[in-house]
Amino acid sequence: MLDLDVIRAEFPALALTHDDGPRTYLDNPAGTQVPRRVLERMTEALVEWNANMHGNFRTSVRATEMSRQAHLAMADFYHARSEREIVFGPNMTTLTFTMARALAGRFREGDEIITTHMEHEGNNSPWRIMAAERGLVVHTVPFDRHTYELDLDVFDALVTERTRFAAINVASNLLGTINPVEHMVRRLREVGAITYLDAVQYAPHGPIDVQALGCDFLVASAYKFYGPHQGVLYGREELLAELPVSKLRNVPDVAPDRWETGCQSLEGQAGTIGAVEYLQWVGRTMGQEFRADDGELPERTVEVHAALRAMVAHEEVLAARLIAGLQQVTGVRVHGITDPAAFHRRVPTVSFTVDGPAPVDPAEVARFLDRHGVYVWNGHSYAVPVVEWLGLLSRGGVVRVGPTHYNTVEEIDRCVSLVDEFVSRHRTAA
């Protein structure tokens, strides 16, 4: 069980104030706050061994070793086979554009690829641009506008011998829905299609095991799981070794070096180690009841997975309270799974609109909450396919509230109370 007082003491930002009142960070789906371990690791990198890699002097040797350790840490985080399957980059979107360029040559005109209406634009535009350039046929799997889950009957029908590739998110960054990617990857592998999973929104809210999933690629962002701005890609080693890539001629033609040409953000990689270490600490000290050690997972993977399961147990309480509270506010409509029995199929990311005769601009809600120190996002949050499918793009999208494990029940209640106050004022003014 999480000790929230101890947890919150690890995050310096949580002690800051907003106009002499508390700050309530519910903007976590766009990026979480960072614990001390991340700050210490990054400071160490910038002060104690601030040098480029592969030199024959002490600080360079330490920088080189740190980068190796960062790849090892993320290999355990994803449960990859080795650090050679881990590629760091500035963010998920840049890595995805890189992989789209590399993969494009494997496809021929008329080949079919699959995506969904639930994607973040970072897992949508790169593949649609690739498809347009190569003459590929794009099929888009819809989600039910009432259940907010993908239509697997449509998906199964779309997977044929002509399917060559699929880009699917593990969890929606707007709806919170966790998609059945195990089933989807299995079906795609049956026809030999390459699978690319966007786990950016899922990574802070559940264990990832790429070997169990059987996917070819999976990408997430460290700043979503309490680290710095870094994208981290898993790629099946044989694909990373053989796909064409633009690089400097002096860069070794081996993975991951061939994908990380140029100077890397070593402080970012160091901070990513700190994020994994933080999760290990949570798993060791507060996640013992959530350990699932079958003897085959590395101890670091076991600890990280235990931490994430412990966090999920707390986050489900927060999400249930948030959704139930919002549903009591007249005119508020939650866009996402609201049945408590199905909360295991969603992350705590919760989006809503204020409907009625005169629908409210979500930006007005966000600005009102900000005046009271509650931070939330509004708009499409780069989930353009989602808001388009829901018909909400022209209305300004949604208000997105995203608790994570360091948030409290009191913060959720305060947010709901402020939403209720805003709606009451708006209704009176109208």
Question: Per residue in 238-270, pLDDT tens?
Answer: 999 999 999 999 999 999 999 998 999 999 999
The pLDDT of residue 317 is 97
Nearest to 143 by CA among 117, 166, 124: 117
The pLDDT of residue 425 is 87
Q: Which residues pair with 339 in a beta bridge?
A: none
Burial call 296-310: b when 16+ CB within 10 Å, e when fewer: ebeebbbbbbbbbbb
Helical residues (DSSP H) of 31-180, grouped into ranges? 36-47, 58-78, 92-103, 125-134, 152-158
User: CA 369 to CA 419: how far, in whole Å?
Assistant: 8
The CATH superfamily of 4-34+299-429 is: Aspartate Aminotransferase, domain 1 (3.90.1150.10)
The pLDDT of residue 430 is 63
Express each pLDDT in 366-416 by its tens digit: 999 999 999 999 999 999 999 999 999 999 999 999 999 999 999 999 999
| Domain formed by 39-280, architecture | 3-Layer(aba) Sandwich (3.40)
Q: Dig out the tokens for 78 from the structure.
A: 């994803």
Domain boundaries, the chain: 4-34+299-429, 39-280
Q: Which residues pair with 378 in a beta bridge?
A: 399
What average pLDDT values come out for the chain (430 residues) when binned by 10 residues? 96 96 97 98 97 96 98 98 98 97 97 98 98 98 97 97 98 98 98 98 98 98 98 98 94 94 95 98 96 87 98 98 97 96 97 88 97 98 96 96 98 98 83
Q: Dig out the tokens for 201 from the structure.
A: 């929104």
Residues 6+ apart with CB under 8 A from 225: 32, 203, 204, 275, 279
The pLDDT of residue 165 is 98
Q: Dig out the tokens for 142 from the structure.
A: 């819809």
The pLDDT of residue 426 is 81
